Amino acid sequence: MTTPTIYNKQQLSKMIENKNPTVSFVKPKHTKSNKWDNYLQIFVNDCAQHFISCLKCHSILAWKPNDGTNVMEKHNKAFEVLIKTTRPLGSAAAIDDLIPDPTTISKEIDKIYNLCKERLMSYLTTINHFVFTQVNESYDGSFRI
């Protein structure tokens, strides 16, 4: 009897990209969590792989049965942040909505800055004319232009 082949993420990605007929996506039969509503386990030749696929973004995530739903929960949080930070230019958003936890600021601030910068640059290229006005406040409290 041969040992089933377990593939790595790159191999699975290539197989999925090439629409390999041996690859299948299956929802586990005995799941207790509703987190599985957005995920399917990846199989090759009816052999379970150590990966799941997100139905929303088609990401391939490393997963083993002992992981439970931790991988899904982390991916869902990251996905929510991504959705919130890709709002159209001009829509108002509270900083608490963009950054769900104060400890993630150092990780997310560069991404948010670059995203906002790209949006602003894209928006400015659509404008034919614009004027910048710089206002300075002197030490005595008066303003000058």
pLDDT tens, residue order, the chain (145 aa): 567 889 999 999 999 999 999 999 998 887 888 888 889 999 999 999 999 998 888 889 999 888 888 888 888 887 677 666 665 555 666 656 555 555 555 666 777 888 888 888 888 888 887 777 776 666 666 656 5
Q: Which of 86, 104, 87 is nearest to 96 (CA)?
A: 104
**DSSP per-residue string spanning 65-84:** GGGTTHHHHHHHHHHHHHHH
Sketch the domain layout of the chain as residue ranges: 1-85, 90-145
22 vs 66: CA distance, rounded Å: 25
Say which DSSP state 42 is in: E
Contact 39, 53 (CB under 8 A): yes
